[in-house]
Amino acid sequence: MSMKKWTDEELISTRENLETWEKRSNSSGGSKLWLLTALLGAFAISTGVAFIFLDGIDVMSVILIIMGTVTCFSWYRSDKQRKDNIAFLDEIRKEIKSRKLKDTTKSEDKGSEQVGEIKADNKKELSAAKTQAADKN
């Protein structure tokens, strides 16, 4: 995916979304819980295999192996997605740095809102002054 064709606003908003995701995932401690889940999945697989060697093929052993495999696979996919998101965030940061952009969109939005409010207030004052002048005449 080429970010060269993206607009500045798209780059900045995507970066902000990924940074909030990164902060949320780092603060929640979810990666440690996911690692524990992956270890439990691996333990389930090994337990199922050990039970097959000791007791023969049993439904419970097969279920343990299947559930452990699904758990490990889901951990692998989520960890891969997390790494891809972090790499993508780094690419976005490099692209923003190469374009020498700053977080001007936030300040521009706030500035344009303030200018709009000032203009609206001036129009109200002007119309109030006109009505007062008309009432005096």
Query: Do residues 45 and 72 touch, judged by C-beta distance below 8 A?
Result: yes
32-88 pLDDT, tens digit per residue, is 788 888 999 999 999 999 999 998 889 999 999 999 999 999 999 988 988 898 888
21-30 pLDDT, tens digit per residue, is 888 877 776 6
Q: What is the pTM of this model?
A: 0.59
Residue 86, token pair as written in the block: 């972090």
Nearest-angstrom CA–CA distance, 107 and 114: 10
Residue 26, token pair as written in the block: 């780092």
pLDDT band at 128 (very low <50, low <70, confident <90, very high): low
Question: Residue 58 CA to chain centroid, in angstroms?
Answer: 43
Amino acid letter, 49: V
Dihedral angle of Cα 59, 65, 68, 74, to the nearest 10 degrees: -110
- pLDDT value at residue 118: 54
Give, for 99, the enclosing helix (H) or strand (E). helix 59-99
Nearest-angstrom CA–CA distance, 87 and 100: 20
